[in-house]
Chain A
């Protein structure tokens, strides 16, 4: 997710700021997706633009896994997860064997992995994965297609959360600006009151000062209107 709004949501998602509705919805969707492909565990990773890597934010199906994985980083292109992010395509993985007949397994790990990228427009939002450790289980075309569909929905959820967060932040900034202006007005009035109260003989001079300021501002406005007639930039 891009910009500071995404970073704030990310922090919230990985447990630093509590669990909002969007985080809960994401977890429910992830759980549903994992069940739909008959997997045992699933994870949601978000793309952190500040570090340019994926970061685990949630895991379902195994509390121990979540405790270990949460916050961990995955570089673009690393493993099936990173490959899905790099290629922007659903990737399905299986164990590696020494021989083409696949009789001699080279390394441990899950029996089957599917990873689907989360995309909004041309932006990478993250990746959601599903894994199984059942001997002999494999994910195929149908699981890849199904997980891609769930990923599409997850992308909408995440993008909506990001936009709502951005709108909320913008409103906070606007409110702060309005509050700031009102404070400045009050300060000016208070100062004028003190000056006139302490030195009533300067009232005339203050009035002339404001006339001069007003004339200056109007003069600038006139010059601006002459330079930019109505209707033209």
Chain B
């Protein structure tokens, strides 16, 4: 049994320690907001926070996540209030198909925590998630909106 702390709750899971964290979150624990897109840490659809840092959960073995604070999209809201990034996503009507957006939001929240005044150059270098629908202009506008409040 491995013990994981996800969104502040402890989960005991009986899986091989080399299982990617992504599949434990999705299939073993049943939180499906975190998505599978490529399995090789390219697309970012599986992004979660590990001790606050944006991490591609398809590339992290679950054994390495033991003892760390894992946050998924489901844990981003606090006491029923959406995170300001989620709210900016709603205000700017960002998602199209929405499949990549959990990972996109997790990447952006981690960035803005480190750099509340993130610039366009920061966005270009640090937000590398793939969106096939092409929501990039709305993603950028939503980030600008959050930065403007900071």
Partners in one complex: no
